[in-house]
Copies of this chain bind each other. A is one copy, B any other.
Amino acid sequence: MHLIDVQSGLLANNDAVAAENRSMLAKRGIYAVNVMSAPGAGKTSLLERLLPLLAQRWRVAVIEGDIVGSADAERLAKLDLPVEQINTGGACHLDAKMVHHAVHEVAHGPADVLVFENVGNLVCPAEFDLGEDDALMLLSVTEGHDKPKKYPVMFRRAGLLVVNKMDLLPMCDFDVDAAVAAARDINPGVTVLRTSCRTGEGIAEVAAWVEHRIAAKRGAPPAKG
């Protein structure tokens, strides 16, 4: 009971800071997406493919969450985009307060799109709103189609479910239809796209989904300066 009270208090506090983050971004018309998955599902590999497509039309900034180190931030910095590394210092997720300062910097710099790359974890990141517009989650076909039933909170929150590593599907006992059906049992409105970051399959469709969501938030793209 004590633990639950502590947790409720943490989440209520988080939601208040997330609302501030969301308000800062909204004032500048910045669209934000929170990218989440298990470790090794391909978040950084997806972003390496996706962000250059988005950067053709939009000014993209990244806030990168890791427990320690900056390996992923270094990979994404090669795309010549601003990347801010947050080290959670042991915490298994980003929270709204951890990213607050970096969101402030993005909101006051030149940016149209903000991408949070969360800590690799199918559980707690889903419980902590950062102030994003959309949650994008990856499930790789090597992880098994039983995952929606086992980790329902993240599947419930996802606006887009990316089924990744499709190039490995022939070698895996993964039933895509079963995974999608299980995800839709939990979240009937979720969009599902199939990708391979190795072959490039489906990446353009993910970019189109993000473009559609940006358009829904802010209308036509500005002239890029």
Q: A19-27, A106-114, A163-171, A212-220: which lies at the B interface?
A: A163-171
* Residue from the list B10, B123, B149, B167 in contact with A171, Cβ < 8 A: B167
- Interface presence of A119 (CB below 8 A): yes
- Interface presence of A144 (CB below 8 A): yes
**What are the residues of chain B within 8 A of A152 when measuring CB–CB?**
67-68
* Residue from the list B92, B149, B165, B172 in contact with A121, Cβ < 8 A: B92
**What are the residues of chain B within 8 A of A168 when measuring CB–CB?**
142, 168, 171-172
- Interface presence of A140 (CB below 8 A): yes
* Residue from the list B10, B121, B146, B167 in contact with A71, Cβ < 8 A: B146
Q: Please give the count of copies of this chain that the complex contains.
A: 2
* Residue from the list B71, B123, B142, B147 in contact with A150, Cβ < 8 A: B71
**What are the residues of chain B within 8 A of A90 when measuring CB–CB?**
123, 127, 153
8 Å CB contacts to B: which residues of A127-144? Answer: 127, 140, 142-144
Tier of interface size on chain A:
35 or more
Q: A68–B122 contact, CB under 8 A?
A: no
Given contacts A92-B124, A119-B123, A122-B121, are A151 and B38 in contact (CB under 8 A)? no
Q: B122–A120 contact, CB under 8 A?
A: yes
Q: B40–A123 contact, CB under 8 A?
A: no
**What are the residues of chain B within 8 A of A143 when measuring CB–CB?**
39-40
- Interface presence of A1 (CB below 8 A): no
**What are the residues of chain B within 8 A of A67 when measuring CB–CB?**
123, 150-153
* Residue from the list B6, B127, B147 in contact with A39, Cβ < 8 A: B147
Q: Give 16 pairs: A residue, B residue, CB < 8 Å, sorted on A.
A: A38-B39, A39-B147, A40-B142, A67-B123, A67-B153, A68-B150, A68-B152, A71-B146, A71-B149, A90-B123, A90-B153, A92-B123, A92-B124, A121-B122, A142-B168, A171-B171
